[in-house]
Structure formats: C-alpha cells, structure tokens
C-alpha cells in the first residue's frame, strides 16, 4: 500500500499535529521545508535565493481558519509581508490560501480580506497568487477569483492542478481571460470521481496543460520538480520559439535546490515558494506524502536526537 494516503490523512489529525509540533525535533524537521517561524527568517531566506538570481513567492503558513479573528489576523500578516517586501526591496510576491482568510466562514469576509491584500499588492506593484487547496474548494476559489478579476484586480493569479479531470477546461478558461496560472500536479487526497489516480495520467495531463499554457497562456508558472517534465518544457519552448521570458519554473523551498540553481544559471526564470510561520504542520505532511523517502530524513533526525 502507498504511504501517501495515510500520511495525508494524518495531516488532518489534531492529535498528531500536537505531538509533532510540540516536539522540538518536529521543528528541526520542518526547517528543511519551511524558512522559519518569523518574518526575519523569511526575509533572510528570500535574500539568499535572490542572491542566486531566484525570484520568490512568500507564503505565511495557515489554512482552514475557523473564526473571524484568525481570518483577520492572517490578512494582517499578508499585509505586513507585502510591506516588508516593499521596504526591503525583495524580489518576491506572495501566495495565499483563501481558507486562511475566512473561506470556510463567510464569502463576504473572505472577499473583503483578500481584496485588501490584492489592493495593497497593486499599490506596491506586486502580485498575489491564490494557492489551490482540496477539490471542495476548486470551484469556490475560481469563482472568488473571477469576482476579483471582474472588479479590476489583474495582479492576481490562480493555481490549477493536473490531477483533476476538470483542469484542461479550466486552463482554456484562464487562457481566454489572460490570467497567470501556476500549474502543479496537486498535493491533496482526491477521489477517483474528480481526479486521476495514476501518476502517469497526472503527468500526461500536466504536459497537455503545460503545452497549452506555454503556447497561449500569460506567463505560466510551471511548478514541478519533475526533471522529465522540465526537460519537456525546455524542448517544447525551443521547438516553438517560446522565449525564456514567457514562462517561469517554480519549486518549493528545500526541494531540488541544485535544479533551481542550475535552471537559473541557464537563464530561465525560477521562483522558489518559501513558506514561513508557526502553522507548518499540514504543509510539512504534504511534503512528506509527496516523497515518503523524506520520512527517513525524519527518522534520522529523531535517531540523532
């Protein structure tokens, strides 16, 4: 049996969350994938990546807030980091999860919060990416996005996941609108009713969607560490005379740093997704589920401890 499913189920467990986050070794492990808990930690990591010629998207960790105060706090934190990016002249934009800003509580609350963030980003001439969460949120997120777009906010983009059957159609809709799309494979546990279950099918759909976005889309973010897909993107770009300024590769903090540097040195735009903050538990578990071999890394840290 694959370990992916049990690990993703554990990502929802508050008992396990308590155990891992209260264990000092949990923090050590998290640091491989998370820049740290404070804004200062985040700024330091952005500077390191920027020195290597790598752009950044900063994510203040947090999701599924269940009360208005938490949703407003998440909004304040996003506004704060935009201020920091501007004042410190960092080469970074931000990624946000709508469930951190009240999507589970009330549409109007969430819309008001994200509007503030997108407006401030606009004032600072920067960009906001709406991360995509589980499939229960796909339509809601795209609907809210459309309202932002129709209200004149063009500095905002979406994420589409190639494991979902619907994504090819969503890609075409986003191409029509001229929206910046981040294409990823998808990190959540999804049933066969909505998502491909075989990796080969997810990868094939990724390539189909990627080619469409590279040919017709607006500066797509190709978010993957999959070297075969990255090579395919480069070959496709060369064959179709798509210049390197028309797309970017995106990768996660702590994953395939060698490849991030290599691509940046070759002249490709590369953006590292840097998460920070104290709510790192579900994020960490999704990274474990993507590559259960990471569990050996945890085991080795516990062994050393």
Ligand X SMILES: Cc1cc2nc3c(=O)[nH]c(=O)nc-3n(C[C@H](O)[C@H](O)[C@H](O)COP(=O)(O)OP(=O)(O)OC[C@H]3O[C@@H](n4cnc5c(N)ncnc54)[C@H](O)[C@@H]3O)c2cc1C
Report, as residue numbers or ranges, the catalytic residues: 131, 182
* Shortest reach from residue 278's CB to ligand X, in Å: 20
Residue 154 CA to residue 236 CA, distance in Å, equals: 28
* Shortest reach from residue 187's CB to ligand X, in Å: 4
Nearer to ligand X, 99 or 113 (CB): 99
Nearer to ligand X, 186 or 220 (CB): 186
* Shortest reach from residue 75's CB to ligand X, in Å: 19
Nearer to ligand X, 132 or 209 (CB): 132
Residue 170 CA to residue 107 CA, distance in Å, equals: 22
Q: Contact 242/32 with Cβ under 8 angstroms?
A: no
Residue 33 CA to residue 230 CA, distance in Å, equals: 21
* Shortest reach from residue 24's CB to ligand X, in Å: 22
Environment class of residue 61 by beta-carbon count within 10 Å: exposed (0-12), middle (13-18) or buried (19+)?
Answer: buried
Nearer to ligand X, 75 or 93 (CB): 93
* Shortest reach from residue 228's CB to ligand X, in Å: 9
State the residues that interact with ligand X by CB under 6 A: 131-132, 159, 161, 184-188, 223-226, 250-252, 255-256, 273, 287, 290-291, 294
Nearer to ligand X, 180 or 185 (CB): 185
Residue 236 CA to residue 280 CA, distance in Å, equals: 36
Spatial CA neighbour of 295 closest among 15, 303, 45: 303
Which residues are CB-contacts of 132 (< 8 A; sequence separation ≥ 6)? 138, 141, 158, 159, 160, 161, 184, 186
């Amino acid at each position: 049996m694959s370990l992916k499913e049990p690990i993703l189920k554990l990502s929802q467990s508050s008992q396990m969350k308590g155990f891992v986050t209260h264990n000092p070794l949990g923090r050590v492990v998290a640091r491989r994938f998370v820049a740290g808990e404070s804004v200062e930690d985040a700024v330091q990591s952005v500077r390191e990546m920027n020195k290597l010629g790598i752009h950044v998207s900063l994510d203040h960790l947090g999701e599924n807030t269940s009360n208005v105060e938490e949703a407003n706090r998440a909004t304040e934190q996003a506004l704060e980091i935009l201020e920091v990016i501007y004042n410190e002249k960092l080469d970074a934009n931000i990624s946000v999860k709508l469930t951190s800003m009240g999507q589970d509580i009330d549409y109007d609350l969430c819309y008001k919060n994200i509007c503030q963030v997108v407006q401030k980003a606009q004032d600072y001439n920067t960009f906001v990416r709406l991360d995509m969460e589980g499939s229960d949120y796909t339509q809601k997120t795209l609907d809210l996005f459309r309202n932002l777009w129709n209200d004149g906010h063009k500095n905002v983009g979406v994420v589409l996941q190639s494991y979902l059957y619907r994504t090819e159609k969503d890609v075409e809709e986003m191409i029509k609108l001229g929206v910046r799309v981040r294409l990823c494979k998808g990190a959540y546990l999804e049933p066969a009713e909505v998502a491909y279950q075989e990796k080969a099918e997810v990868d094939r759909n990724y390539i189909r969607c990627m080619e469409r976005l590279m040919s017709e889309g607006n500066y797509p973010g190709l978010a993957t560490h999959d070297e075969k897909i990255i090579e395919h993107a480069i070959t496709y770009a060369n064959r179709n005379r798509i210049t390197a300024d028309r797309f970017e590769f995106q990768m996660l903090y702590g994953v395939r740093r060698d490849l991030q540097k290599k691509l940046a040195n070759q002249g490709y735009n590369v953006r590292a997704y840097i998460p920070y903050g104290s709510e790192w538990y579900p994020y960490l578990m999704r990274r474990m589920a993507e590559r259960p071999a990471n569990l050996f890394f945890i085991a080795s840290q516990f062994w050393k401890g």
